Every structure is written in C-alpha cells, then in structure tokens.
Structure 1
Amino acid sequence: TTYNLDVAFAHTDTSSFSLTGEYQSEAAQEAVEKRGAVKITHGYSKDHRPDLKQVVVTLVTSQKGRIPLWLEALDGNNSDKNSFRQTVDTYCRHLAEGNEPWFVMDSAAYTAENIGNWGKAQKWVTRVPETIREARRALQSVTTKEMTQLDNGYAIHATTSQYGGVDQRWLIVYSEHAEQRERKQLDKRVARAATKAEKALKTVQKQEFGCKKDAQQAVAKVSKKLKWHTVTATYHPIKKYAQPGRPPNGAQRQIVGWQVKTTCHVDTKQLEEAQQWLGRFLLATNELNQNRLPDETVLGSYKAQGTTVERGFRFLKDPLFFADSLFLKSPTRIMAMIMIMGLCLLIYALAEWHIRQQLQERDETIPDQRGQPTQKPTMRRVAQMFEGVDLLIIRRDGQIIERQVLKLTPVRLQIIRLFSPTVQNCYLDGF
C-alpha cells in the first residue's frame, strides 16, 4: 500500500525507558563492546525513576498523521544535546537530496555547537533556552501590545539573531494560556517564599543582640536572600538596671542588648516586573524566508510536538498496549524489543491515519466514547469497539466445515469496509 504522507516537518524527541535488572553480566558487557549494543545504565530519568537503569529512545514522527519515521535506542546516560545532532545527521543521510524536512525539537537541541554544525545544510525549528543571555534580552525587548495578535490567544514578534554564527529568525511568542499557568506558579512560589521568610525573621526576632549593628546585620542577612519580599525592621533597646534588686533613687537603666521587630512585605515592583513577561517563550529557525515558512507555521509546528512525537511516546509507555515494566537479559534483546514496539506504533499510526482519511473522503462518521459522531477517532477507540467480536468454528468429524465471525454490528462492518480487501477478508470472507 502506498501512503501519500506529508513529511515536511519531522518532530524529534527522546524519552527514557526504565528497566529492572543490573545488566552487569559478562554477556551484557560483551554485547556492548563487540556487538554495538546500547549500554543499560543510570541517567537522567524522564520516568522519574532515577533508582532504575534505563535506555534512551529517540523518536522522529511526521506532523500530519503522526507517523513514526525513525526510532533508535541509545545508551541510558545519553545526552539530548548530542543525540539530537547525531539523529538529524544520520536521518538525513538516508534521504534523497532536497527532501530534508524541517526538524522540530525542544530546547536541548539549541546549542552553539549543534546549530553551527547544521548551518544551512539542515532545516530546523527549535525552542531557545532562556539560560542564554541574548534570549532573555529578546524576550523582554517588546511589549505584548506591540506584538502581532493571533486569534487563538497567542501573539508573536519576529526578530533576527546570529547566535552560534548562524543567521536565524527568532520568534518571540506570547501565550495567554501559558501566562495564566505561569501566574499561578509564580503566586505559589511567592507564597512559599513568604512562609520561608517569616520563619527566618521569627528566629531573628527571638534573639538578643549585643549591639544595634549586630541586629541590623542579622536582618540584612535574611533580606539579602529574599527575591520577592522586602523587610521593614524597627530596633528596640533592652534596658536593665545595673544591679539586681530594688534600684536606688536616681538610678538609670542601661542598654544591655537589642531586639528586632520585623514586617515582611511583597516587593510589588519586583513582582510586577516578573508578571510583565509571563507566558513568553522563544522559537528559532534557520529558515529566513517567511514566504517558505511563515511565522504562524513556525509556531504551529512547535505546538504540534505534544500531539506528534510526545503522543508516540505515550503510546509506547501505555500499559494498555505494552507491559508497564521491561526486563530482558540482553541489551541486544532490549534493542530488538524497542524496534518491535516502534513497528507496533507505525501500524497503529498508519491505521488511525487511514481510517480518518477514509471517513473524510466518504463523508462518514462513527461514534466516539460519548456517542457523538466523529471523523477523527483514535485507533484505541476503534480497538475498543471491536471488543466482544467472536470467531465461531464448526467442526464435523474433526474437519472444519464453517467459520463465522459473530457480533458484527453495523458500525463494526462500517469500520471493516474502511480498510483494504486483505483486512476485510479476515472478517467478511464467505459473507
């Protein structure tokens, strides 16, 4: 079967797969050293299981259809900064010249070494990490009102950069949804900081200081650590008579120490400054021609990461389709299993894409989970709809004389007829 798929954008990402087992046997070491198998070891765990060894998997998918185009198993301690460059270079070597897609990646791919290595040879769209000073300046270089407003709660503004020695287009993006999310996160951070500050200041207020300067230094030490708050302090002398008992006439109390009373306030100016730039991120591409790649397309391609390659990883890690944990004795077997999982994802994605195409072309629908008509069902939903279909085999004198597929409802028959004759024959042969 030939599929007319649009692979203009190749969404690229990695994920870790945690494994049970030590993988310290001689056979495992030999597989790594002599047969080029991946190294099962500890690394940064995207599964939040740093206690387990792991293998890293790179996945490349198309934007339309979410079809897996490339799958590769890597060492468990692999760095995304290096693997992205190797994946892009290796993938492009398998393509005919001129067919290179735009690779869409997260900020781990954006390093001076990577983009300098790609230059103009490879086309890419990636997020720029905000740890880069130039990126932070760019994000605060324009107000939201000065940006081009889009209909979906986004605003964009294009500028240029030569970071890494490569001419590129930077796209400053504002998201209303992201601002709301980040504002809630900021409020939580400020509240936690206030609790921590009050605790530290309470300790200071309980102390007695030998002189006023010591008290001021104690308050200054706490204030220096505060990002979102300011401290107002008043200093009170502790006065006592020089000797115990009833003081003589005319005796004056002497200052024997100092205490502090403090009030903690939110630094309104600092908070408003931070709130002004919430909901922003920066995208970059080495495609300078906006006619070939408009700003809106740059944003749309990056937003599609969550519904393309990340969706592929969710499928691979879903216990409904695969086991929730993996263990195989040999690293080579693990590599083989990952390839089988990738083939399953390929079949799943192609089947889903085919069903949706056929429904649209025939102007038909099938019911979704809520019973509402849809032309974009997931393959998972289709599989659930076929639960309960039975095969009846009738034998006479040890010979099969008839096969019947039971419980083929009208909706199930409709779905079957969306597929090729080969699939139809599995259910409808003899009908």
Structure 2
Amino acid sequence: MTRRICVATGSRADYGPLRPLLARLREEPEADLRLLVSGGHLVAEQGLTIEAIRRDGHPVDAVVTNVLAGDSPHAMAKSFGVAAAGYADALLGLAPDLLVVLGDRYEALAVAAVAALSRIPVAHIAGGQVTRGAVDDSVRHAITKLANLHFTSTEEFRCRIVQLGEPADRVHLVGSLGLDEVLSRPRPRRAEVLGELGLPDGKPLILVTYHSVTADPADSAAGLAGLTAALDRFPQATIAFTASNVDSGGAEVNRRLREFVERNTDRSALFPSLGQQAYLDLVMSCDLVLGNSSSALIEAPAVQTPTVNIGRRQEGRPRAASVIDCGVDADEIVDAVRQALSPEHERVTATATSPYGDGKAAERIVHHLLREPLDGLLHKEFVDGGVRC
C-alpha cells in the first residue's frame, strides 16, 4: 500500500537539501510524493526558483503565493498569515498521509501549524539546532512541538529534541541532508565552473553568502559594512555573491551587495539564485566560503573548503576545524580571510571532517517515512522527568 507524502518547500534554503530526499521518494514504489511550493520560490528577485524545481523533474502539485512586498518584521508576519490560509486549502486538496518540512523558516512553521490543526502528521527535518544570532530558534523549536516525527543531523540535536519533551523513539539521528548531494558529486573543473558563470579566474576565488541577522539588526548592518570593506582590501580576488533570503532585512543586504558589484564589475557578480548544482560546484571550486550561511558550516568542511564565519548568526552550531569565526569589524574579517587562505590553515582544512554526518541521510529518512506506523502518530505526549540522553 502506498503512502502519500507531501514535502513542503518555501525557499532555495530548504529545497537544496531536500533534493536528494525528493529523488529517493520519486524512486520508491511505496511512496506517492506530492510537492507543495511557496515563498521565495515564486519571487523573481530570488531567481523564480520554482522553475529550477521543475527542471529537476519534480512536478509541482500545489502552489501557495504568500510573500508580500517589503522585508520588515510586519511584512513577514503578514506573509505568515497569508501562507497559513493558502496552506489550509492546499493540504485539503492534497490530502497527504504525512507532511515533511525542513528547517526553521516561517513558511515551515505556517505549514506545520496548518497540518497539525488539520490532523496531518508532521515529520520535521533538522530540528534541535541552536542559532543564537537569528529568530530561527523559536521558530525551529515551535515546529518541533508541532511535529510527530523528527530527523536530526547530530546526536546533540537529537538529545535536545528529547529534552524538549518529545518521545525518544520518534527522534531519529540521520545526519544532514545537505551532505548527501555534495559528497556524491564529482569534483568539477574550476575553469569550467567559472566559465559557465562568466567569472574571471582570479586568486583567490571567494564565495560569499551573507544573510540578515534577524535577532540583531545592528550586528547585521555592522557585519555587512565590515564584509564589503574587507573585500575591498583583496582587489585581486574574484568574488561570487549569492543573494540573501527573503528575510527581515534581506532586501537591504542585497542592495549593498549590488552596490559592491557595480563598483567591481570586472571581478564580482551577484546571483539571485545559483541553483543547488552550480552552488555546490562553486563550494568545491572556490578557495574560501565567506559570510554567515549554514552551508559554510555544513557542506564546505565536508569537501575541504575553508570557511570564515562572520558575526553571531550561526552561534550554537557545531564547527569543523576548517571554520574560522570572526567578528563584524573589517579588520577582523581581513585577518580571518588571510588566516583561512594561509598554507597552515590549508593543512588543517585538508584533514577536517564535518560533524553533520556521512551523506546518507535521505535513505534513512525515507526508511522511517515509509515504515513508521501512522496509527497513533498524531497522539503526542510530553515526556517529562528531566530525560537524559
């Protein structure tokens, strides 16, 4: 008997890791996959990435348009409300046996809440994490309490979910989906990657992803100013920027990055969305990943690319030895970049390992999605008593 599984994706941030899971579900005769697309996928400034989903061969079964004009907290809150109304209609039509969500964005919280109210079991991927520099923590933990089944990247995260009162037998350590694709890809030729993107082969090649720090706007602005000032001090570098997410403050980040590119058209470019394959090719080809994105902590160390992580946004996530943390001041960023590009750190990076798994998360998740008994899954009990893992 097939099981109808709906996977929801609201941005390139969750779709990239979800790709190997979607591919495996498509291959499973016992899985009847339904794909629900919303959020940044439908925004032109984010690359209209719904088309990339279709190019990957995934039919889109339902679409929810919810992103309103503006990136203020008020606009984000209203977008959440619009999303919830749209998800209610979409899930009614899709009628899944199980809903799968990944991460900590407001779209994931909205669809998880609607599913819970609609008595649809929720499977949550990548819970139990801590990112003290963003409002994501409260969103992520809220999804955990709405969810009935949990898939975590590390044992530490698994323990945290159990400590939140979730039954231990419903919390599964699977590793990070983000490693599945990057560890299975052949290493590309750098010249071909740069040629396809229209970038010169300067030294060093720096991949930059900087997102707004939603929990601390002042730190976010300072980090952005420090970042662009620091990059001015590496005039020989080729710099590939990926645009910020649809978050509070994201539009200002993209505006400042565009200004930098306009001043440095001969050596830099801003990409609204590279797509997962081109992005991973750049991660494997570049000399440094710079910014404050989770991929710099998860995927980059797994392929022996050094990382400089700026500011507080990723506070609380485990780090590989190849990751260098720095503050938001330009001088600190410059020093960290120089250290990351040094022969000494190159040797450290060459032996670094990612703390996020072995690249086999998708097969483990599919196993549980298809084998977990649905009877009783909606029933949730808070496991009290100071559980120790």
Shared fold per TM-score greater than 0.5:
no
What's the TM-score, normalizing by structure 1? 0.28
Richer in strand (by share) = 1
Richer in helix (by share) = 2
What's the TM-score, normalizing by structure 2? 0.30
